[in-house]
Amino acid sequence: MQSMYQSLGVSPAVYQYGEEILAGLKDRFAAIDAVAEHNQLKVIAAMQKNRVNAGCFAATTGYGYDDAGRDTLEKVYADVFHTEAALVRPQITCGTHALAVALSANLLPGDELLSPVGRPYDTLEEVIGIRESKCSLREYGVSYRQADLTADGGFDWEGIRAAINEKTKLVTIQRSKGYATRPTFSVKQIGELIAFVKSVKPGLKVMVDNCYGEFVDTAEPSDAGADMTVGSLIKNPGGGLAPVGGYICGTEECVARCAYRLSAPGLGQEVGANLGLMPALYQGLFLAPTVVAGALKGAIFAANVYERLGFKVVPNGSEPRHDIIQAVELGSPEAMIAFCHGIQAAAPVDSYVLPEPWPMPGYDANVIMAAGAFVQGSSIELSADGPIREPYAVYFQGGLTWQHAKLGILLSLEKLVQAGLAKV
């Protein structure tokens, strides 16, 4: 096995270091497998309940009227997430698009959006209008307010209470850390926050950005009271097979409004052809619990590999996991670039290219992204990225198999060692 890794660029010293780390992770990996088993059975039960059959895989074009496969898939998602309804469409281009649809559909001019978890992920800033952009919520008369987290990453309960006012209509909660080094929130924490804001103002709607969090636990934010749980199909729930798409699971009222916003008033969920993508969307969801388990193992392995070398990692090597993202503070642009070169070198696609920082749309700093993916931008596949700004943290995620994630982590360390930026 060592010779196989060596043929792919991993030195014996780095390989042996990785094996030492793995020896202490057997119990953690067993617990991840137990969660995956629970979620696998949950997905199978939803597919059986809704009588998924070969006819569901037929392609539709044009308007997509009477698309049985599309409609059944949305019922499956609603049952997996335990919600009244779901909107699952290839016409949703990415996670940011799904969030934008959910927000714009359920906020009207004069309403206010509240984030009780501090500043949102970079790409959502322009959706909201924190950074000026055409067609932002702000441009349409929706105001924004936020309550920052406490110094230790917790909720500022009194700050949140003070931020809720007569205009507050919708609360947005970002589960994962994004390009920040705060903790990711557990479903239990999200449930406590939802209960609190609804006790302050009954009738508030709550949307949870669930990107990177699906199937990490046996429960989802929709089980904890969220009116909308939103995510991307080229992250966890697509299982690496979905080539595009997003989902919104929630109440009948919220999802119906989202469907009208995505298509047109009066049309809603009745239109939207599947264009032959149904097999990938169904099978991707079926595989998702196992794929997420592999990505989680990779994240825990990465945390332990780098923490032992003295790097700050979020979460740390022993903390519970609530998403698939592992942040590693590397301390310099050079170290970020070396790390990403290692991830790219492990890829099955474009392994020979060298990623470099560039001004990516939606971000206020140059961003480096390493990903040799079968689906462009699919961050359930092995990838690493981050903005070139302090604290020079790289965000590692994905891996369709645990074995691929392991190779990527070892090669990231190998590149740092070769550059004289780490020592094993």
Query: Any idea where the domains of the chain sit in the sequence?
Result: 2-40+289-418, 60-285
At 395 the pLDDT is: 94
Reading the block at residue 229, the tokens are 């749980």
Residues paired with 403 in a beta bridge: none
Average pLDDT over residues 70-77: 98
Average the pLDDT over 316-338 and give the result.
Answer: 96
How many Cβ atoms sit within 10 Å of the Cβ of residue 44? Answer: 13
Question: Rounded mean pLDDT of the chain?
Answer: 96
400, pLDDT greater than 80: yes
What pLDDT is attached to residue 360?
80
User: Which backbone phi and psi does 327 adopt, to 5 degrees?
Assistant: -90, 135
* Residue 364: pLDDT over 80: no
Distance CA 103, CA 90 (A): 19
Is the peptide bond prior to 391 cis by the omega test (within 30 degrees of 0)? yes
Mean pLDDT of 77-100: 98
Confidence (pLDDT) at 123: 87
Which parts of 237-394 fold into alpha helices (H)?
A: 252-262, 278-307, 333-345
pLDDT of residue 309: 98
Give residue 389's pLDDT band: very low, low, confident or very high (50, 70, 90): very high
How far is 175 from 384, CA to CA, in rounded Å?
19
pLDDT digits 0-9 by tens, 179-194: 777 889 999 999 999 9
Structure tokens at 90: 């290839």
Predicted pLDDT at 38: 98
pTM beyond 0.75: yes
Supply the pLDDT for residue 113. 98
- Closest to 284 (Cα-Cα) out of 349, 233, 352, 338: 233
pLDDT higher than threshold 80 for residue 363: no
The reported pLDDT for the residue numbered 203 is 95
Lowest mean pLDDT among 258-267, 299-308, 365-374: 365-374
> Residue 178: pLDDT above 90?
no
- Residue 386 reports pLDDT greater than 90: yes
* CATH code of domain 2-40+289-418: 3.90.1150.60
Hunting for tokens 């700004």 — which residue is that?
389
Q: How confident is the model at residue 414 (pLDDT cuts 50, 70, 90)?
A: very high
Q: Which two tokens stand for residue 146?
A: 């936020």
Residue 55 is given by DSSP the state G
pLDDT band for position 347 (50/70/90)? very high
CA 259 – CA 249 distance, rounded (Å): 11
388 within 8 A of 357, measured Cβ to Cβ: yes
Determine the Cα–Cα distance for residues 198 and 205; give it in Å rounded to an integer: 8
Gap between the Cα atoms of 135 and 126, Å rounded: 9
pLDDT confidence of residue 179: 77
Return d(Cα 41, Cα 196) in angstroms, integer: 32
Burial of 419 per CB tally in 10 Å (0-12, 13-18, 19+): middle
Q: With H, G, I as helix, E, B as strand and everything else as coil, classify residue 112.
A: strand
* 258, two tokens: 């989202």
Q: What are phi and psi of 25, to 5 degrees?
A: -110, 10
Pick the CATH number of 60-285 from 3.40.50.970, 3.20.180.10, 3.40.640.10, 3.30.450.20: 3.40.640.10
Interval 186-243: pLDDT, tens: 999 999 999 999 999 999 999 999 999 999 999 999 999 999 999 999 999 999 999 9
Q: If phi over 0 gives left and psi between -120 and 50 gives alpha, with beta otherwise, what is residue 90?
A: alpha
Please list the alpha-helical segments (H only) found in 129-235: 157-163, 187-200
Helix (H/G/I), strand (E/B), else coil: 415? helix
Average confidence (pLDDT) over 143-171: 97
Distant-in-sequence, close-in-space partners of 163: CB < 8 Å, separation ≥ 6 = 114, 116, 145, 146, 147
Return the pLDDT at 280: 98
Residues 6 or more apart whose CB falls under 8 angstroms from that of 256 comprise 85, 268, 269
Per-residue pLDDT tens over the stretch 79-89: 999 999 999 99
- pLDDT exceeds 80 at position 47: yes
- Tell me the mean pLDDT in the region 157-186: 93
Q: Is-contact 344 355, C-beta < 8 A?
A: yes
Percentage above 90 pLDDT, the chain: 96
- What are the tokens at 110? 């004069």
Is residue 394's pLDDT more than 80? Answer: yes
Contacts of 360 (CB under 8 A, 6+ apart): 366, 367, 369
Would you state the pLDDT for residue 190? 98
Band (421; pLDDT cuts 50, 70, 90):
very high
> d(Cα 96, Cα 88) in Å, to the nearest integer?
14
Q: Is pLDDT above 80 for 122?
A: yes
